[in-house]
């Protein structure tokens, strides 16, 4: 079996990349909108999960909070 290493981000790293608060990332994880793995008392977000979420344009967000044309 050929396994490729996957990159994981902390909640703080994802928040910094998205320029939002860590609490926003926790809310996305808890709502099931952003996939993450629980490691002890913290979460790790797979790079592919972040890519998928960003590619979806945050489609789970209410219409009036989405940024159009960004």
Confidence at residue 68, expressed as pLDDT on a 0 to 100 scale: 47
Q: Where do the domains of the chain lie? A: 8-59
Residue 70 tokens, joined? 């960004």
Sheet strand arrangement including 8-10: 8-10, 42-46, 37-39
Which tens digits make up the pLDDT trace of 27-66? Answer: 999 999 999 999 999 999 999 999 999 998 875 544 444 4
pLDDT band at 6 (very low <50, low <70, confident <90, very high): confident
Count of positions (residues) in the chain: 70
First-residue to last-residue Cα distance in the chain: 40
Alpha helices in the chain (DSSP H): 11-18, 22-30, 47-55
The pLDDT of residue 69 is above 90: no
Q: Read off the DSSP letter of residue 65.
A: G
């Amino acid at each position: 079996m050929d396994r490729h290493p996957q990159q994981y981000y902390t909640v703080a790293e994802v928040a910094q990349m998205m320029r939002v608060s860590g609490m926003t990332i926790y809310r996305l994880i808890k709502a099931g909108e952003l996939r993450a793995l629980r490691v002890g008392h913290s979460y790790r977000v797979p790079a592919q999960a972040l890519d998928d979420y960003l590619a979806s344009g945050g489609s789970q967000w209410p219409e009036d909070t989405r940024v159009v044309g960004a």
